[in-house]
């Protein structure tokens, strides 16, 4: 599917009682999208299945955050992350994502599963938005994509290290501090 959407600058929201759920194969292609995902992202399920999950990636999201996410789940571990996504009309929406690898009965990784909730607004505004803006600024200072991701990843890792906690401890301390 040809897909080019520009950010509208408008934010859209979903209810705190709702979960956005999706599943992907090992390459990140959508194999399942629940009705909440379809509604919030502005796509029919038939438009999403088989597409890369990055169909909802917002250009304001640091690519290094996705590197951290992929490195973690490919290492067979779960991850929690704040993510800014973009709907089919260019509107954006924030989620607090829990991404886990999926396994078959023999323990072979078969894909990934993600549940997304409404994030705490205070955490977004006081911690995540400023951090992501700084990391994105660092990434955009590099013309080469690999260098950009590496520099952003280093900035993200340096920030986490400066807090003297693991990434997971930092994410959950932010959630509980709000």
In a domain, 141, yes or no: yes
Question: What are the backbone angles phi and psi of residue 98, rounded to the nearest 5°?
Answer: -120, 110
Residue 177 pLDDT > 60, yes or no? no
Domain count, the chain: 1
Q: What is the pTM of this model?
A: 0.93
> 75-93, pLDDT tens digit by residue?
999 999 999 999 999 999 9
Pairing of strands 79-86, 92-103: antiparallel
Burial of 84: CB neighbours in 10 Å, binned 0-12, 13-18, 19+: buried
Q: Residue 137 maps to which CATH number?
A: 3.30.450.20
Nearest to 95 by CA among 142, 36, 141, 148: 36
Residue 35 pLDDT > 60, yes or no? yes
Instruction: Tell me what the pLDDT averaged over the chain comes to.
Output: 94
In a domain, 142, yes or no: yes
Residue 102: give the domain boundaries: 20-177
> 127-173, pLDDT tens digit by residue?
999 999 999 999 999 999 999 999 999 999 999 999 999 898 999 88
Of the pLDDT bands very low, low, confident and very high (cuts 50, 70, 90), residue 175 is low
In a domain, 6, yes or no: no
In a domain, 10, yes or no: no
In a domain, 69, yes or no: yes
In a domain, 1, yes or no: no
In a domain, 12, yes or no: no
> 37-71, pLDDT tens digit by residue?
999 999 999 999 999 999 999 999 999 999 999 99
Residue 157's pLDDT is 94
In a domain, 88, yes or no: yes
């Amino acid at each position: 599917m040809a897909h080019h959407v520009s950010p509208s600058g408008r934010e859209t929201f979903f209810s705190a009682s709702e979960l956005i759920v999706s599943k992907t194969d090992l390459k990140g292609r959508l194999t399942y999208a629940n009705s909440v995902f379809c509604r919030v992202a502005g796509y029919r399920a038939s438009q999403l299945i088989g597409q890369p999950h990055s169909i909802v990636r917002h250009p304001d999201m640091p690519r290094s955050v996705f590197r951290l996410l992929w490195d973690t789940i490919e290492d067979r571990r779960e991850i929690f992350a704040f993510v800014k996504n973009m709907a089919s009309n260019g509107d954006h929406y924030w989620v607090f994502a829990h991404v886990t690898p999926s396994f078959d009965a023999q323990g072979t990784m078969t894909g990934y599963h993600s549940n997304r909730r409404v994030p705490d607004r205070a955490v977004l505004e006081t911690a995540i938005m400023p951090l992501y803006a700084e990391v994105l600024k660092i990434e955009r200072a590099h013309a080469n994509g690999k260098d950009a991701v590496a520099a952003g990843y280093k900035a993200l890792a340096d920030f986490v290290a400066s807090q003297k906690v693991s990434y997971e401890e930092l994410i959950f301390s932010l959630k509980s501090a709000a």
